[in-house]
A = this chain, B = another copy of it.
Amino acid sequence: MSWDSNIRKVTPYIAGEQPRQADIIKLNTNESPYPPSPSVAECIAGIIADDFRLYPDPDCKSLVHALAEYHHVKPEQVFVGVGSDDVLALSYLTYFNSSQPLLFPDVTYSFYEVWADLYRVPYRVIPLDDDFQIVAEDYHTANGGIIIPNPNAPTGVFAELDVLEDIVRRNRDSVVIIDEAYIDYGGTTILPLIDKYDNLLVVRTFSKSRAMAGVRIGYAIGSKRLIKYLSDAKFATNSYTMSNFSLAVGVASLADEADFREKTAQITATRTWFAEELIRLGFSFPKPMGNFVFATHSTVPAADLFITLKKAGIFVRYWNRPRINNHLRITIGTDEEMRTVTEFLKKYLGK
């Protein structure tokens, strides 16, 4: 025997590459091509070393209150964590203690099954239909929890709220998490329903539309009871997850709504013309509702395109997984970046 037998062995999630070269076009992990808001820059300019001597506020009151005000909910309905992955991992640990399986779509964020494996949560994947759509009836089955991203990733497909509300309503004995990481690019949030359904948790991130992936802020909004349980689990794991830096710049980001709207509008505008170009180039894709397009080409395999683009310094995302192994997920960058991609593809595809 050895200590090895006491180890929880896991198959980790494989994140998108984070290459450090400066001269690439990085369209592989859905970051914003624009900097955080000027209010964040201003906040950072005022930060000094002595701000970090003491522990942060473990209740994260400043950021929790700012988020509550922003979303017109009570502070007791808000939980913040180190990116939405932190919030989601803790949610698995907290909410999904059932012998019934957790349900999530077959094509979705691949971390969902990793957390289930890590915390020994039984799960069952529910196939999307042929158009990558959620079918509400498929979730009318015994379960110990449900998690669905809306818009879905990596497909970019937005589920209409009546579909999701049906799932939440028909599963009042389970916690239903709607992961809205990509909601700010044209989707409609399910947030107003949290007061109607105490089993609904909505999760958000500062990593995409707020251009702060490098800060690590995510949050959840739900009923007070849901948030209380999540908060208890956090205080049983790590009292101080959010640095004074994260708290300060998180609050600062929320203070500049005009900049936020301007930049998300710019990204959706870029997405519109880039999607049209892709169609001209022979690609097809579901209607993109995130800051990315999930495209397949009529003749050229996605795996080949992925390698070709990478050689040209254009990083996109490719998964060799069932149903999606002929698709590329291409993040929407600046107009200039997307023009470069378009020009490159035109040449490569001989169009």
Q: Which residues of A contact B (CB under 8 A)?
A: 1-15, 18, 20, 26, 29, 31-36, 38, 40-41, 44, 47-58, 82-83, 85-86, 89, 93-98, 114-115, 117-118, 144-145, 172-175, 199, 207, 211-216, 225, 229, 231-246, 249
Contacts and interface: CB of A to CB of B under 8 A. Distances in A.
A326 to B, nearest CB: 26
With a 10 A CB-CB cut-off, give which of A8, A18, A52, A118 has the most chain B CB atoms: A52
A85 to B, nearest CB: 4
Given A97-B8, A172-B2, A239-B13, A244 B229 contact: no
Contacts of A15: 55, 58, 235, 239-240
A22 B54 CA distance: 12
Copies of the chain in the assembly? 2
A54 B31 contact: yes
27 contacts: A3-B95, A5-B173, A7-B97, A10-B232, A11-B232, A14-B235, A15-B58, A18-B58, A40-B49, A40-B52, A41-B48, A47-B47, A51-B214, A52-B211, A53-B214, A54-B214, A82-B238, A83-B238, A85-B237, A85-B240, A89-B238, A115-B237, A118-B237, A215-B244, A216-B241, A243-B245, A245-B245
Contacts of A31: 53-55
A95 to B, nearest CB: 6
Given A52-B214, A55-B214, A236 B118 contact: yes
With a 10 A CB-CB cut-off, give which of A20, A86, A238 has the most chain B CB atoms: A238
Contacts of A246: 243, 245
A235 to B, nearest CB: 3
A227 to B, nearest CB: 12
A3 B237 contact: no
With a 10 A CB-CB cut-off, give which of A7, A13, A114, A172 has the most chain B CB atoms: A7
A240 to B, nearest CB: 6
Given A3-B172, A6-B95, A56 B216 contact: yes
Contact of A243 (B55, B98, B216): B216
Contact of A18 (B12, B26, B55, B83): B55
A3 to B, nearest CB: 5
A175 B4 CA distance: 9
Nearest to A11: B236
A241 B36 contact: no
Contact of A55 (B1, B3, B29, B56): B29
Contacts of A83: 238, 240-241
Contacts of A244: 214-215
B44 A47 contact: yes
A7 B201 CA distance: 14
Given A97-B8, A207-B55, A215 B232 contact: no
A141 B86 CA distance: 36
A97 B6 contact: yes
Contacts of A55: 15, 18, 29, 31, 207, 213-214
Given A7-B229, A118-B237, 18 more contacts: A2-B173, A3-B172, A3-B175, A6-B144, A8-B94, A9-B232, A10-B232, A11-B232, A15-B239, A34-B53, A52-B211, A52-B212, A55-B207, A89-B238, A114-B236, A117-B236, A214-B245, A243-B245
